[in-house]
Amino acid sequence: MTTLAEPAPARVTREQYFALVDHGVLTEEDHVELLEGVIVAMAPEGPRHSGVVELVVATLRAALGARAWVRTAHPFDASRWSVPEPDIAVVSGAPRDYLERHPSAAHLVVEVATTSLPQDRLTKAPIYAAAGVPEYWIVNLRQEQLEMYRSLDRAARRYTVVEIARRGDQVALASLPDVILAVTDLLP
């Protein structure tokens, strides 16, 4: 007697993903993102998460001025297989530059994490590294610290340096080193 192996689940491309949106199969109410070819549900935002996102956005916008645009919770075209929706992405240009396309490059991507911490570290970090994002931050609400992933090895899909910053520390953006932020301003 022969048994048939179950077929491997199909991976979804960004084109297929956006076709599901265009045809109304997926809507904004679905709160999903495409990670490595899999449509993944995002946890609902609690008030602490939302508040910290707003703190980080306000701090970045004040520090950057018109030098870059700070986007919140919008698609980032990372690859054929991944369209995450980072909490924050610092991108070149201005909002009008993204009326016809989602950005595929960023100076910095930031995720605010409590329950999503394992996914942000293990799944999203390699996605952002492969996309060439020079710096990735996780505002870790569990330990109330900032995890900074730097020194990009794009071919290996990883960051070779992980630094931890806490209250009282100051940090500079890797691609804009004259932009210096107080970590206290990024934490609850």
pLDDT tens per residue, range 13-71: 999 999 999 999 998 888 999 999 999 999 888 999 999 999 999 999 999 999 999 99
In a domain, 104, yes or no: yes
Q: What's the pLDDT tens digit per position in 118-144?
A: 999 999 999 999 999 999 999 999 999
pLDDT given at position 8: 55
* HSE-up of residue 49 (Cα within 13 Å, Cβ side): 19
In-domain check, residue 137: yes
Is a pLDDT exceeding 90 seen at residue 4? no
Domain membership of residue 80 (yes or no) is: yes
Confirm whether 84 is domain-assigned.
yes
In a domain? residue 18: no
Alpha-helix residue ranges (DSSP H) falling in the chain: 14-22, 47-64, 117-119, 125-130
Predicted confidence (pLDDT) at residue 9 exceeds the cutoff of 70: no
Residue 40 lies in a domain: no
Q: Has residue 116 been placed in a domain?
A: yes
Structural domain total, the chain: 1
Handedness of CA 55, 90, 83, 153 (dihedral sign): negative
Predicted confidence (pLDDT) at residue 75 exceeds the cutoff of 70: yes
Would residue 11 count as lying in a domain?
A: no
- Average pLDDT of the chain, as a whole number: 93
Specify the CATH number for the domain of residue 69: 3.90.1570.10
Tokens standing for residue 5 = 């192996």
Which pLDDT score, from 0 to 100, does residue 44 have? 86
- Cα–Cα distance for residue pair 9/75, rounded to 1 Å: 24
Instruction: Provide the domain limits for residue 175.
Output: 46-186
